[in-house]
Amino acid sequence: MGSTSNHGAEGVGRRDLIKRSAALGLVAAPGMGLLSACASSGGGGQKKDKAGKKTAKNPLGVNDTAKMEFVLFDGGFGKEYAQDAVKVYEKDFPKATVKFSATQKIQSTLQPRFNQGNPPDLIDNSGAEQMDMGVLVGKNQLADLTPLLDAPSYDDPGKKVRDTLRPGIVEMGQFDGKPVWILYYAYTVYGVWYSQKALDSLDEKYPETWDEMLKVCEKAKKKGMAGWTYAGKYPYYVPFSLYPMIGKVGGREVLDAIDNLEPNAWKHPAVKACFEAYYELYKKGYILQGTPGLDHIQSQTAWAKGKALFIPNGSWVENESANVIPADFDLAVSAPTGIDSSDKMPFGTIWASGGEPFIVPAKAANVEGGMEQLRIMLSEASSKNFTAKVKSLTAYNGGTTGITLTPGLKSGVAALKLAGSNVVNPRLQDWYVQLQKEKIGVAGLGEMMAGRLSPAEAIKKIQGFADEAAKDTSIKHYKHQ
């Protein structure tokens, strides 16, 4: 995606995608984590602060005089929400000093400190210079966040923190089972984004079956509007609607098998049906001409200008495209269209998952303080503050009452309500970054959507990539438990 560090202020989308990876250009070799060079914990290290006394007001036992250091990724969400949460910590622990800083250079700033054994107490490990999570976990460099999840929530001592979180957040922080190493703070709704106004002008409702989708696209085409566009240069945006469609058609187990790199997972009939459906958009001329050459910003701009009706994307698109989306656009998101009534899961099945990964280093001097700062951020007040300021939901399940929600956010909340428990969370983009982006995305789906591979050829190629990754001993492999 080119240089990203200078786009912090502009794009939640860019950040949100790239945060999941050691951005591809930075990885020395496939499977080589960013930290592999430095993951040994040389250096003298720092002294741990003594924990404080656990009380009802201080359930994690924070040492109330210890310093707490918090380093935030300075990206599309800005700094204000975190600075506001720091003020609450300072109010709760008036004798403590908090050192807060924000940077886009997470890895180059913090890697040496991990080496020396004196990392900060809380880190928002995001952006183009994100440290490789798999490596951090593999080298035992992160604190297990179970004490935070089992602590009473900030607002209600009768509820544990884990009981206040949205679906999938706890599981996302796990690698191979029990401990939770990462707390994803933002919550992203992925799906098909469109202008309700444009759909209304066609006198159509959002299509729930593929026949209906083709009918809507045909109508749009007659009015001089393409049915779809997408980030052709970064076709790993296509899965934001394609993967949950595969889950809807074939059931969650199909997505789990794909994540687990199981042999022949991509040859499942549900995958074939969905690939063929998307290929039909190309064959029938429903994709905006020139789309394969567009990046994410160009495709979003064309869509915002009414050149195409639908675009697969994440909920950051509202913030990222705010300067090009017309005031009367009436931005909406929907769960993906299915094939027909034989689909395994109901219409409304959607991909939603955590973004913005926060970690507490195992060797932090004030582990309890880092966790307490997160506990504060997971309060209703902090969550509302984040949502009001940056147009994104948080991991806290609620925090939207009394806020005027923007159209996209309102639509995202409605989509989650419709989904209920039918929320899927494919893990490929966390577990196997290079496979998902370069191989499945660019070499597989990108080629198929541009008409250069048939669905059968794309499936064969992608299954080959997955098999290679499964056999590659230089990559750490993960499985759904």
d(CA 310, CA 227): 6
d(CA 337, CA 191): 10
Using the predicted structure, report yes or no on whether residue 286 has a pLDDT greater than 50: yes
Closest CA to 462 of 473, 451, 450, 453: 453
Residue 310 placed within a domain = yes
Structure tokens that stand for 45 in this block: 């290290």
Main-chain dihedrals φ then ψ at residue 34, nearest 5 degrees = -60, -25
d(CA 14, CA 12): 6
Residues 293 and 328 grouped into a single domain: yes
pLDDT at 17: 44
Residues 203-227 have a mean pLDDT of: 98
d(CA 120, CA 136): 14
Residues 113 and 232 grouped into a single domain: no
Q: Are 265 and 254 in contact (CB under 8 A)?
A: yes
CA dihedral (355, 21, 132, 371) in degrees, to 10, reads -10
Residue 422 placed within a domain = no
CB-based contacts of 445: which residues, under 8 Å, 6+ apart? 235, 236, 238, 239, 242, 458, 462
Residues 317 and 390 grouped into a single domain: no
pLDDT band at 39 (very low <50, low <70, confident <90, very high): very low
Residue 268 placed within a domain = yes
Residue 148 placed within a domain = yes
pLDDT at 20: 38
- Lowest average pLDDT, out of 167-176, 296-305, 402-411, goes to 167-176
Residues 182 and 194 grouped into a single domain: no
pLDDT at 8: 33
Q: What is the pLDDT of residues 193-204, one digit of tens each?
A: 999 999 999 999
List residues bridging with 186 in a β-sheet.
355, 394
Residues 390 and 454 grouped into a single domain: no
pLDDT band at 167 (very low <50, low <70, confident <90, very high): confident
Handedness of CA 168, 170, 174, 177 (dihedral sign): negative
- Lowest average pLDDT, out of 84-88, 310-314, 316-320, goes to 316-320
Residues 195 and 63 grouped into a single domain: no
Using the predicted structure, report yes or no on whether residue 338 has a pLDDT greater than 70: yes
Residues 131 and 268 grouped into a single domain: no
Mutual orientation of helices 269-283 and 455-471 as an angle, nearest 10°? Answer: 130
Using the predicted structure, report yes or no on whether residue 40 has a pLDDT greater than 80: no
Residues 277-299 have a mean pLDDT of: 97
Residues 438 and 360 grouped into a single domain: no
Residue 89 placed within a domain = yes
pLDDT at 60: 97
Length of the chain measured in residues: 481
- Lowest average pLDDT, out of 145-154, 259-268, 296-305, 430-439, goes to 430-439
pLDDT at 370: 98
Residue 415 placed within a domain = no
Structure tokens that stand for 138 in this block: 């593999």
Using the predicted structure, report yes or no on whether residue 240 has a pLDDT greater than 70: yes
Residues 30 and 174 grouped into a single domain: yes
Residues 357 and 345 grouped into a single domain: no
Q: What is the pLDDT of residues 60-111, one digit of tens each?
A: 999 999 999 999 998 878 899 999 999 999 999 999 999 999 998 999 999 8
Residue 445 placed within a domain = yes
pLDDT at 429: 84
Using the predicted structure, report yes or no on whether residue 24 has a pLDDT greater than 90: no
- Lowest average pLDDT, out of 4-13, 78-87, 212-221, 333-342, goes to 4-13
d(CA 183, CA 168): 11
For the chain, the three-class secondary structure string (H helix, E strand, C coil) is CCCCHHHCCCCHHHHHHHCCCCCHHHCCCCCCCCCCCCCCCCCCCCCCCCCCCCCCCCCCCCCCCCCEEEEEECCCCCCHHHHHHHHHHHHHCCCCCEEEEEECCHHHHHHHHHHHCCCCCEEECCCCCCCCHHHHHHCCCECCCHHHHHCECCCCCCCEHHHHECCCHHHHCECCCCCECCEEEEEEEEEEEEEHHHHHHCCCCCCCCHHHHHHHHHHHHHCCCEEECCCCCCHHHCHHHHHHHHHHHHCHHHHHHHHCCCCCHHHCHHHHHHHHHHHHHHHCCCECCCHHHCCHHHHHHHHHCCCEEEEEEECCHHHHCCCCCCCCCCEEEECCCCCCCCCCCCCCCEEEEEEEEEECECCCCCHHHHHHHHHHHCCHHHHHHHHHHHCCEECECCCCCCCCCCHHHHHHHHHHHHHCCCEECCCHHHHCHHHHHHHHHHHHHHHHHCCCCCHHHHHHHHHHHHHHHHHCCCCCCCCCC
pLDDT at 36: 37
pLDDT band at 25 (very low <50, low <70, confident <90, very high): very low
Most confident of 138-147, 178-187, 265-274: 265-274
Structure tokens that stand for 68 in this block: 């707490």
Structurally, the chain folds into a number of domains equal to: 2
Residues 113 and 15 grouped into a single domain: yes
Q: Are 349 and 421 in contact (CB under 8 A)?
A: no
pLDDT band at 44 (very low <50, low <70, confident <90, very high): low
For 195, the domain range is 190-351+427-471
pLDDT at 350: 97
For the chain, give the mean pLDDT.
89
Residues 199 and 220 grouped into a single domain: yes
CB-based contacts of 238: which residues, under 8 Å, 6+ apart? 230, 278, 312, 441, 445, 446, 449
Residue 479 placed within a domain = no
Structure tokens that stand for 100 in this block: 């807060």
Supply the CATH number for residue 44's domain: 3.40.190.10
Class of residue 203 by CB neighbours under 10 A (exposed 0-12, middle 13-18, buried 19+):
exposed
CB-based contacts of 61: which residues, under 8 Å, 6+ apart? 51, 52, 53, 54, 368
Q: What is the pLDDT of residues 345-355, one digit of tens each?
A: 999 999 999 98
pLDDT at 270: 98
